[in-house]
Amino acid sequence: MIRRPARPTPVRLWNWVRHGGISTFLFLVPLLFTFGYFAWWPILRSLALALQKTNLITEPTWVGLENFQRVLADPILGTAALNTLWFATLALVIGFPVPILLATLMAELRRTRQVASVLVYLPVIIPPVVAVLLWKQFYDPSADGLFNSALGVIGLGPFPWLQDGATAMPSIVVQATWAGFGQSTIIYLAALMSIQSELYEAAEMDGARVFRRFWHVTLPQMRGIMLLMLLLQIIGTMQVFTEPFVMTGGGPENKTVTVLMLIYNYAFIQGDYGKATALSLLLAVVLTIVSAIYLRATRSWSKS
């Protein structure tokens, strides 16, 4: 048997130290400590809190999985989950294509692109609660309301908007889309600006018009960022709170109550923080599973 000569073991630790590993680690320590204390420690603390019955004032009582059982037994949980899914679906159908189309139109502009970017981003600058209260006034169900007055010119309305269970959630989705599409539009516009102009020139030489250039050049080049933005929007819409809380308070007849509103009610209305934490962890688990399935399903498509 022929023995191969043993390879000398590299002194990796010494090389790491010699190339500035210690100084790099010392620079990272404050960042790791800050991130761990403000991000991971609350998560670990919530794991213990979910197994206790406490109002954060009196001495907590260890109850094990009872909080999770009480959450799952709550009859309004199913309603809140379905409303959250309904909001997420409407937000994706209405809100996801809007920034893509706007960014594509803005990319065709030459002299007024910067002005258009500022105008598109303005809704993002407005504080969320202020924007929601403003739209709540626009949704005044009387004939004097802004939207009803505008529709009354063409003989439509007045509509109840937020006072009707059938129109309350779509109305909230429209406001949420208006408030958030500016940020996504700017991101898509930046992605469009990075696409090589030679691809569009080649498409034009082949006789491709605007729609064909958009379908065969723009969308394939933006596939990766679109998949990422879609995942972020799914996670964000599943955590909707401000819009239904301020606009409708969950009404009418619980048609707009969401999972985060239910968490709020557990914690600040009922004073049961253990139950609220349990539902928060359940939501986090669901979002983690959805994200993992999404990333697994789109992994090959995003790379192709």
Nearest by Cα to 274 from 37, 77, 57: 57
Nearest by Cα to 248 from 178, 177, 169: 169
d(CA 293, CA 127): 34
Assign 302 a pLDDT band (cuts: 50, 70, 90). Answer: low
pLDDT at residue 208, rounded to an integer: 73
The answer, yes or no, to whether residue 303 has pLDDT greater than 70, is no
pLDDT at residue 3, rounded to an integer: 55
d(CA 175, CA 165): 16
The answer, yes or no, to whether residue 40 has pLDDT greater than 60, is yes
Among the residue ranges 78-92, 164-178, 181-195, the one predicted with the least confidence is 181-195
pLDDT, average across residues 107-129: 88
pLDDT at residue 36, rounded to an integer: 87
Assign 196 a pLDDT band (cuts: 50, 70, 90). Answer: confident
pLDDT, average across residues 217-232: 86
The answer, yes or no, to whether residue 8 has pLDDT greater than 50, is no
- Residues 58-112 pLDDT 10s: 888 898 899 999 999 999 999 999 999 999 999 999 889 899 889 888 887 878 8
pLDDT at residue 242, rounded to an integer: 93
The answer, yes or no, to whether residue 203 has pLDDT greater than 60, is yes
- Residues 229-251 pLDDT 10s: 999 999 999 999 999 999 999 98
Residue scoring higher pLDDT (289 or 53)? 289
Among the residue ranges 28-32, 119-123, 292-296, the one predicted with the least confidence is 28-32
Nearest by Cα to 99 from 196, 208, 183, 195: 183
Domains of the chain: 70-303 (1.10.3720.10)
What is the overall mean pLDDT for the chain? 87
- Residues 125-161 pLDDT 10s: 999 999 999 999 999 999 888 999 999 999 888 899 9
pLDDT, average across residues 10-36: 77
d(CA 77, CA 88): 16
Nearest by Cα to 272 from 52, 47, 62: 52
pLDDT, average across residues 27-38: 87
Q: pLDDT exceeding 70 applies to what percent of the chain?
A: 93
Is the preceding peptide bond at 158 cis, omega within 30 degrees of 0? Answer: yes
pLDDT at residue 9, rounded to an integer: 47
pLDDT at residue 1, rounded to an integer: 47
pLDDT at residue 292, rounded to an integer: 93
pLDDT at residue 112, rounded to an integer: 87
Q: Which two tokens stand for residue 209?
A: 């018009």
